[in-house]
Amino acid sequence: MDHDLIFPSPVCTPLDQSKLSKVYKECLKAADLPNIRFHDLRHTAATLMLQEGVNPKIVQERLGHADISLTLNTYSHVLPSMQEEVAEKMDELLTLTDVSDELNRIKEPKKEYI
pLDDT tens across the length of the chain (114 residues): 667 787 788 888 888 888 888 989 999 999 999 999 988 999 999 999 998 889 999 999 999 999 999 998 998 887 777 778 888 888 888 887 777 777 777 776 666 666
Between the alpha carbon of residue 100 and those of residues 109, 110, 111, the distances in Å are 16, 18, 20
Domain boundary assignment for the chain: 1-38, 39-107
The phi and psi torsions of 75 (rounded to 5 degrees) equal: -110, 25
Rounded to 5 degrees, what are φ and ψ at 4? Answer: 55, 50
Contacts of residues 15-24 at CB distance under 8 Å and 24 or more positions apart, as own/partner, are none
Give 66's contacts (C-beta < 8 A, 6+ positions apart): none
pTM of this prediction exceeds 0.75: no
